Chain A
Amino acid sequence: MSTGVLASAISIIIVCIGVLGLILKRNLLLKLLSLNIVNTATILFFVLVVYSPGDRAPIDPSPGVQYADPLPQALVLTSIVINFGVLALSLLFTMVLVKRYHTLDLIKIEDFVRREFEEEKS
């Protein structure tokens, strides 16, 4: 088994760990951390899978030289930025919820939310 396959298998295992944390943890902050683990491991996997070795960076085009594929870098940078945005936004939302209910326990929060919605309309 080559190193690349082993590394991508490990990154998939990290994704699975993140998903398990996302499902099993009741704490909202831990859920967000697990989500971040999933996202980071996804990027790791993407880099490992798409990576194509070349002799040179694709800057100076001259014939006969094998260049590295420039596309994956652009894609990975974009998705890192998007994940950063998602994390910032979800932390903001968590902050609002914690300020309102003083708990991070998701099941309690869901309870409060349902009750509040019912009460507000009556």
Chain B
Amino acid sequence: MTALLVGVGSYVSAGILSLLFSRYRFWFSLLGWAGALTGASFGVSSFLGSGPLVGTLGRWGILGIEIVIDQTTLLFSGLVVILNIFTLVYLRGSKKGVFYCLYNFLLATTFSIAFSHDLFNLYVTIEFMSLVSILLIGYERKAYQIYAGAKYLIISSLAMSLYLIGLGLVYRAGGSLGISELARTVEGGTDLSISLGLCLMLTGLAVKGGVFLFSMWLPDAHSYSDTVVSALLSGMAIKSGLIGIIRVSEMLDWSQLLLVLGALTGIAGAIFALVSRKPKKILAHSTISQVGYILIGIGTGTPAGVLAASLHLFFHGLFKALLFLSVGAAGVGADDIDRARNLSVPLTSKVGLVVGSVSIMAIPPFNKYFSKTMLVEQVNQEWAWFAMLAIGLGTALYTLRLDWALIFEARTDWAGKNDFVVVVFALAVVLSSLLAWVILGSPEMVQLLSLHHLATYLVIPVVGGFALLLFKKKLSEISPPDFPFSLENSLVSLFTGFLLIELVLFVL
């Protein structure tokens, strides 16, 4: 409980102070980071002391807000703290006080989502998070950013209305807002109003969480905004929806549905990433694709599967933020990768790109390898396993295409624009695979490093490389379609997705 109050309190006060005394905005934000680090370490010590904990905030008994401290909480709050320090040093006072205020508020809301175990608290924090992130997307007041922000605003407001309708149905049937309270009431019941309500809530959260068909606002919002904003949005803001799905799925068994959604999201995201031509667009679509793994992890329904999903969520936040920062530091985010010969990329960004892309391809000693093999061990349906293989192959294809353009074809800029934060961040990403070892322990790690896993993950990039050599000409002739991502079509696809959920749950 102290963890939540200290972290959120220090972020909020850092935000207000950096707005009021904008001369010292960097130092106030640094203090806010220190406070959040203290809060997160309180959380870790409480977890190590007494294990997973569900408590209530306030002295109103059942009316209080339920909070939770478990592995997902700690991983997500740790992700917030780590991304905070690197983006803060990357910014280094280059923006005004207002930006720092919004930045700290975004961190505060995402930090508090990690602890939230209460349906209405989730609603309020997620809604506040999206308001703040919309202001950040439109911060430079360029017309395309304003458009992307407005699209996000309209779709997410509609989604949260659906969430509220679902909340009403669930509250009426369950009589409580705390998730562990509700899970006891709902236990084994097949009440129609509860399952319909939870479906509506899942739809709302899926729009926030970057699930394909639901969050078609994502590619524009993440690729049109400023570098740090895209890194934070892709790294942690969309994860708040996924945290919500993890929490809500404690109440109902959704395994089949989440596996279907996960496979669809992963494969569709990879296809769109493959046909896109701008580095930031590729990274935004790749975020959707990676969300697929996390959904599959939640869909396995076992505690180990959820842990693998949380671990993947953490690692994805790190390497995706690294990729966005390296592309943004080079200033090539919106250039065409087919004309990469005219570009120049500084050496530090190339280092960041190399580390980020070996991580995203799950090459063995790097972080994503561990979360992904853990997922593969937990999945027992054969088709889901093949879907994961397809997502992996797609990931290898688009990552290698991006790397070929930005690392081999682009000139190396030795002199200017080198930003060593990116290199330090890359080092942190490399070291983060040690965290998997800390969490899982040695015997589990040895199991994950077994020969057939190693062989699979070394073969996938090689196959992807050869496929890319064959299809490179064809790929550069395709231009990415824009129409699925216009406002009207994204609304239509949202309701298509909702119908898909209903179909999978009630008919199949």
Contacts and interface: CB of A to CB of B under 8 A. Distances in A.
B164 A93 contact: no
* Chain A binding surface, main DSSP class: helix
Interface of B: 63, 120, 123-124, 127-128, 131, 134-135, 138, 141-144, 146-147, 149-150, 153-154, 157-158, 160-161, 164-165, 167-169, 171-172, 177, 224, 334-335, 482, 486-488, 491-492, 495
A39 B157 contact: yes
19 contacts: A15-B165, A31-B487, A42-B165, A46-B168, A49-B172, A71-B177, A82-B131, A82-B160, A89-B131, A89-B134, A89-B153, A90-B150, A97-B146, A100-B146, A110-B487, A113-B143, A113-B144, A116-B143, A117-B224
A28 B63 CA distance: 40
Nearest to B334: A121
A114 B146 CA distance: 12
Contact of A93 (B124, B149, B487, B492): B149
Interface of A: 12, 15, 19, 22-23, 28, 31-32, 35, 38-39, 42-43, 45-46, 49-50, 70-72, 75, 78-79, 82-83, 85-86, 89-90, 93-94, 96-97, 100-101, 106-107, 109-110, 112-114, 116-117, 120-121
A96 B487 contact: no
A73 to B, nearest CB: 12
Nearest to A100: B143
Nearest to B119: A75
A71 B154 contact: no
B165 A113 contact: no
B147 A113 contact: yes
Contact of B143 (A85, A97, A107): A97
Contacts of A71: 63, 171, 177
B158 A38 contact: yes
Given A45-B168, A117-B144, A22 B491 contact: yes
B124 A97 contact: no
* Chain B binding surface, main DSSP class: helix
Contact of A85 (B131, B164, B172, B335): B131
Contacts of B147: 97, 109-110, 113
B105 to A, nearest CB: 13
A85 B130 CA distance: 11
Nearest to A38: B161
Interface centre among B135, B168, B487 (most CB of A within 10 A): B168
B120 A75 contact: yes
Contacts of A31: 154, 487
A22 B158 contact: yes
Contacts of B127: 82, 86
Interface centre among B123, B164, B172 (most CB of A within 10 A): B164
Given A15-B165, A22-B491, A113-B144, A93 B153 contact: yes
A39 B168 contact: no
B56 to A, nearest CB: 14
Contacts of A35: 154, 157-158
A49 B168 contact: yes
